[in-house]
Amino acid sequence: MEEGTLSKKFSLLAFGVAAAIVAAVVAGYTGAARSATAAATPLPSSSCGPVVYKGSGSPDFIVASDLPLQGAIRHQTVQISRAMIWALANAGWKAGSYKIGYQSCDDSTAQTGGWDTAKCATNAHLYANDRSVIAVLGTFNSGCAKIEVPILNRASLLEVSPANTNPGITKKWDVGEPQKYYPTGVRNYARVVATDDIQGPADAMWSQSLGFKKVYVLNDKQTYGFGVAKTYDAAAKKLGIKVVGFEGWDAKASSYEALATRIKKSGAQAVFLGGIVCNNGAKLMQDIKAVDPKIQLQTPDGFSDPNANGAVANGAYISVAGEPPSALTGAGATFVKSFGKQIGTTPNPYSAYGAESMDVTLQAIAKGGGQRATTTKAIFGLTVTNGILGTFTINSSGDTNLTPITIYKQSGKNLVPVKTLVPGASLIGG
């Protein structure tokens, strides 16, 4: 009886959390789902929020986003979702002659507090089987993308990520990559963000510029975390920095004191945390700093949400692909000003990527003639001129040619840009 009662309470709590997330995403667009079912078939509420659409009549197609909306980084991912809505509204809810609605879908669970393998697979099948879905914006986590892309590939359904940085989804990396993600032999995935074979070296360059001679490298044992840690490790060694330790951390551990003690005994001046804050990253940082208050924390963009990091990350250096919001010009500056006013704060760096992922997808849809396969084909070779992120091209592999990486320093709940770096070819490649 007690177990059943607890389960019921948990289910009600999860429902309440999910409802709150949906409300946050569609804030300012209440009533937007009106009559939206007349033309396009909505994705189910078990994974997705309502159809958001404020154009005339009803949408012809749906663009769905797939992000982890529960857990430590929910503030960041909800903001990304809202930035996607901003871009769609800015385009008049249209892609060429096609009217486009939007649904925000969640690939996380309350139990995991982050992306979930089963949820990623379930969502991908939902998108593939709903012919109203013309494209998917996501994922946030590279591991989730590696599950979704092959499923969507069989349905010729385009996926454009604002945040995936693991190289293997588009480039030769680990065994069988990237071919194993494209069972049809035709690519269906692109991204507007630079990859970890660029980000890791930029972090190593920053370590060198700070004068560090010894560093300790950690990873969260996941696709993204291990990948970016590996590229940082390789670049650091090329730059003459001694890597005194390289190991994974257990995301389910209750204490990291023993690990923190090993790091201190190694003589490391800095520790690089390759991974995501959702994997107990805040606790890891707390224990490391408790044992060695003077050690410098360095992280990639998996720790780019100060709300999730907490105060322990004040002073930490955090890398994020691209120019900082304050350096964006033209359409980018317009986005930062308009969207920032909408949300009441300076946008997180990844919000611009969320908006840009919507913009390039709308361009592909406009060229695609209302068909999945031709929409997918249109993304490759697409050139954006004076877009939110600037002028860039998505190549035949699905990667952007924009490669700057910005180093930020956390100050309270803000990321303060410090330096933008572009690694040389000799450091790239792991």
Domain ranges of the chain: 2-194+328-393, 196-321+405-427
Beta-carbon-side half-sphere exposure of residue 124 (alpha carbons within 13 Å): 24
Say whether pLDDT at 30 is over 70: no
Q: Give the C-alpha separation, 212 to 237, whole Å.
A: 12
Say whether pLDDT at 65 is over 90: yes
Say whether pLDDT at 34 is over 60: no
- Predicted local distance difference test score (pLDDT) of residue 317: 98
Angle at 117 between CA 114 and CA 122, to 5 degrees: 110
User: 2-194+328-393 falls under which CATH superfamily?
Assistant: Response regulator (3.40.50.2300)
- Predicted local distance difference test score (pLDDT) of residue 29: 60
Closest CA to 340 of 328, 299, 51: 328
Using N-to-C axis directions, what is the helix angle for 257-265 and 281-291, rounded to 10°?
A: 50
- Predicted local distance difference test score (pLDDT) of residue 35: 35
Domain 196-321+405-427 in the same topology as domain 2-194+328-393? yes
Q: How confident is the model at residue 277 (pLDDT cuts 50, 70, 90)?
A: very high
* Rg of the chain (C-alpha set): 21
Say whether pLDDT at 37 is over 60: no
Say whether pLDDT at 109 is over 60: yes
Class level of CATH domain 196-321+405-427: alpha beta
